[in-house]
Amino acid sequence: MDNASDVPAAPAEPPVVSKKPGTDWWAEARGIFWLILAVLGFHSFIAKPFYIPSESMMPTLITGDRLVVTKYPYGWSYVSPSFHVLPFIHGRVLGRLPERGDIVILKPPQADTDFIKRVIGLPGDRLEVRGGVVVINGVPVKRVPESPAMIPVDANVPCDQPEVARFRMTGRDGQLYCALPRFRETLPNGRSYDTLDLGYMPEIDDYPAITIPAGHIFVMGDNRDQSADSRVPAYRNGLDGPVPFENLGGRAEFITFSLDGTTKLWNPISWFTALRGGRAGTSLHPSREER
């Protein structure tokens, strides 16, 4: 009688190993493409971040400020895309003129870069500057002296240029400040903001009377003696007069955060220690005085 234990066992079936699907690189590339396109579209038509690289808008904006610029308030034009790749195209889609006092970004007619300035004059205005005082349609803009603008000295605002070094001072808190002469300016529509005036400089504090052409705006920096704006000729890197309406890129809305210039890419702690306190969330819309 055969013993069942003597019957050889059937060989076991090898386990079925499911093959891991390979990465679909074409699908991944398409996903990245659509993501980049969405970001560029948002930056071109809705809003984009902006960095302040110079002193031309002090005391409102200082070097190192990061802010949000919205693209839609004035409609869209050839400068709306994130990169300035289009030639000049006349007109704007759903175009609306800015209001006096708006802070805007714009492209100079002679360069592919972005400037940030304040709108002072609109089409049809008769505008001139006499001794640093703006005159619109024969009426001097209200200008009231205030206490100095106390801007802390740091790596982004060293206050060491010959024009401003004389204004360096130590505050009661022991901090070094740039105490710059400040004036409150109020435009005919009642919108007011602070400006700086370092003293009389004929080449920029006097500007002959002009009538702003149709489809153009006249812009100036709040730091009146250190701004390459509509008063400054093109050979001095200025805007060389009123700027075409099509060159407006958007309106500045608010400061997101501000850095003092001590950030080190390799040191994450410095990303936080370099933050300036008290600037995040600051609105860039001028106040409106009772009239």
Cβ atoms of residues 225 and 191 within 8 Å: no
pTM of the model: 0.88
Query: Looking at 25-175, which runs of residues are DSSP E strands?
Result: 47-51, 65-70, 103-106, 115-121, 126-130, 133-136, 139-140, 142-152, 168-170
Task: Write out pLDDT tens, residues 78-120.
Answer: 999 988 888 889 999 999 999 999 999 999 988 889 999 999 9
* Closest of 162, 129, 168, 165 to residue 148, by C-alpha: 168
Task: Report pLDDT for 27.
Answer: 81
CATH of 47-288, one of 1.10.3720.10, 3.40.47.10, 3.40.50.620, 2.10.109.10: 2.10.109.10
Q: What SS3 state is found at 250?
A: strand
Going from N- to C-terminal start, the domains of the chain cover: 47-288
Active site residues: 56, 117
Q: Which residues contact 23 (CB under 8 A, 6 or more apart)?
A: none
Which residues of the chain fall below pLDDT 70?
1-22, 290-291
Residue 32: how many CB atoms within 10 A of its CB?
10
Task: Report pLDDT for 1.
Answer: 45
Task: Report pLDDT for 177.
Answer: 97
Task: Report pLDDT for 110.
Answer: 86
Q: Which residues contact 18 (CB under 8 A, 6 or more apart)?
A: none
